[in-house]
Structure 1
Amino acid sequence: MTTELCNSPWSSTRIYVAGNVASIDDRNYTAAYWTQGNVPSTSSGDVNSGQPWVSGVACKPASLAAQTLDPDSNFSPATLQFLKDNTGFDGEQWNNIMKLINKPEQDSLDWTKYYGYCENIHDDRGYTIGIFGATTGGPNDDGPDAPTLFKEYDAASGASSPSIQGGLSRIGVHGSMSGSILKISDSAKVFCGKINGLQSNAAWREAMWRTFYKVYISYSVQQASQRGFDDALTVGSFVDTALNQGATGDSGSLEGLLSRSGNSSDEKTFMATFYAQRTKIVDTNDYNQSPNGKNRVKEWSTLMNEGITDLKNCDADVIKVTSWTMH
């Protein structure tokens, strides 16, 4: 029998509403209604007890990785400041967003290991590269983002007139643009070997985040903001959708899903519809192998239902919602 993981520890200052979960003394408790300052272990009972907390099963504390204990250390000072200035979210929030994104991408919460990731996963999108899966393009992707990444790398490396070719040359690989598609002329072994070698390259990491922002994050922040939403969980949900299904374009893209999610000004209500719409289409061959897509959406929707919208002080909760099996 598998022991349930503990949610993040109960806080005396946090406001909990019905459905929120917190742990204390290795047991999870679910809030029955609005409550603050009531210790779950002494203010709980069964569902009909009238107490503010409903006692759950015993749980085991989540094991926290070093990157969680000091989330700012996962970013360069320049990247951290760039993200704060342009999104309003700090290192802890972006670290949690990236953990939630990386689970269904790489089956790991240690997203920092994938700056040098490179693979042709034979999805007709060319090579997939880095922490957000930049692609070189192909029949299933006529708007790839890897060309922007290589140009940004050239810029981050000091080029006065950055170019795609300049970035490729700095890495020591060969390719050319065919319309919007970047055709790599090196073998997969050579090309991915060179990309793997950039894992700890500071300019490459900076270029990765600048590209990530330009292609996916900026649009996601804009779409949340124009609806009056400013929670890290909402923006992260949009970013995950955009990089997995495209920011704009067909009905499955972030743009398409948003158009079918209603116009509620209540963030939780809007996002419940958004998650329901995404769940309908996410497990298709174009996006995720079933049931990975539904689990991918469930990560975000569970945190939303539990009121963990700022993605702060929620390390155990993130571990818990990502403790599903990849297929």
Structure 2
Amino acid sequence: MLAFSTSAAASGSAAGSQVRVAARVAPCDSAWNGATPYVSGNKVSYRGINYTAAYWTQGNYPASSSGSADSAQPWIAGTACRVAKVAAAASDHDANFSPATLQFLKTNTGLDGEQWDNIMKLVNKPEQDSLDWTKFYGYCEPLGDKRGYTIGIFGATTGGPNDTGPDGPALFKEYDAASGAAKPSIAGGLTRAGVHGSMQGSILNITDSTTVFCGKIGGLQNNAAWREAMWHTFYNVYIKYSLQQARQRGFSSALTIGSFVDTALNQGADGDSGSLEGVLAKSGSSTNEKTFMTSFYAQRTKVVDTNEYNQPPNGKNRVKQWSSLLGLGETDLKDADAAVIKVTNWTLK
């Protein structure tokens, strides 16, 4: 008991000291924004450090473009600061998911709402030219490349001659399950959505007109069961495999996982040389995550603009988003709002 009491007293003393030190640290200035122009004397903060602008600057990261007042760098580095409202920032990201989805993602991927929100922004930019991915749960459009319809936040397809392994059927079955069906089925999900169609082999043949079908899908935009089904299908078809590929190489960063998911989504999880499996096979065997991912992005860049689902230069920009974040050291996708905006500042053709 004496040993415990002594330890507790020492711990309490140390904790009190830490609190006093924290109290002396100045609050952080307004967070740096890559899209904002700054003039001499403007003050910002970035990752727990305050900075002062030496002269007009825009888009220059304070951490990598700073020095003393006579360094000729655009930013003058200051002292460490106390970051405020971290919880509020995290809750802003979390608000894009239901509590059930947040728990599902955390349990199955180890990543939180902020990380998945940023991943989805990067996924959605080359798909919809928007960072507001949550508007697309009810997205629906007929594809002109014989893959049927594309629907939802990850573009599930109903299938066709150029897509004989569509994920749309699984989505409707998950919707039936999320809606409480004892024995979920594709037909049950279609009925719940008010959609008419049937399976022809592995293809989901929709018999409604485009106007009717897409109208029904659009009506599910705010349906809680549809949203849960969307994430469960996304995980089962693309995320789970991508996680396995990252983890078996010893990689666990949000950037790597997101990069693999985006590749699987855009080019297929496994199969030919252009799929995630194929690109991984050509990326070497380095156990250093940055080295491997640098090679991975280089290999993927060779594929994307030749992929029929991308129109140059959309594919290369799609890869560049992720590789640019790697170069900036934003591998955990935390406190990365400004960086995500910066790397997605390109025009979709």
Answer yes or no: same fold by TM over 0.5: yes
Structure 1 residues 230 and 4: CA distance shift in structure 2, 3 A: closer
Identity of aligned residues (%): 69
Report if aligned partners of 2:198, 2:204 keep a CA contact under 8 Å in 1. yes
Offset of residue 139 of structure 1: 1.4
Distance 2:45 2:156 in 1: 36
Is 1:258 paired with 2:280? Answer: yes
Which residue of 2 is the match for residue 40 of structure 1?
66
Determine helix, strand or coil for the equivalent of 2:205. strand
TM-score by length of 1: 0.85
Distance 2:297 2:197 in 1: 39
1:208-219 aligned within 5 A: 208-219=230-241
Determine helix, strand or coil for the equivalent of 2:244. helix
Higher RCO, 1 or 2 (CA under 8 Å, sep at least 6)?
A: 1
Q: For this pair of structures, how many residues does the alignment match?
A: 295
Letter in 2 for 1:315: D
Determine helix, strand or coil for the equivalent of 1:286. coil
1:1-327 aligned within 5 A: 5=35, 9-12=45-48, 25=53, 27=58, 28-29=60-61, 40=66, 42=68, 45=71, 54-55=73-74, 70-327=92-349
Determine helix, strand or coil for the equivalent of 1:183. strand
Structure 1 residues 156 and 70: CA distance shift in structure 2, 3 A: same
Structure 1 residues 29 and 74: CA distance shift in structure 2, 3 A: closer
Offset of residue 123 of structure 1: 1.8
Distance 1:232 1:218 in 2: 14
Distance 1:119 1:266 in 2: 41
Distance 1:30 1:128 in 2: 41
Which residue of 1 is the match for residue 80 of structure 2?
none
1:286-318, Cα deviation, whole Å (9 max, x unpaired): 231100000000000000011100000010110
Q: What value does the CA root-mean-square deviation take over the aligned residues?
A: 2.4
Runs of 5+ in structure 2 lacking a partner?
Answer: 1-32, 38-43, 76-87
Distance 2:48 2:313 in 1: 37
Offset of residue 45 of structure 1: 2.6
Distance 1:154 1:114 in 2: 20
1:72-97, Cα deviation, whole Å (9 max, x unpaired): 00000000000000001100000000
Distance 1:317 1:158 in 2: 41
Structure 1 residues 276 and 80: CA distance shift in structure 2, 3 A: same
Determine helix, strand or coil for the equivalent of 1:148. helix
Distance 2:123 2:161 in 1: 25
Determine helix, strand or coil for the equivalent of 2:46. coil
Structure 1 residues 263 and 182: CA distance shift in structure 2, 3 A: same
Distance 1:293 1:68 in 2: 30
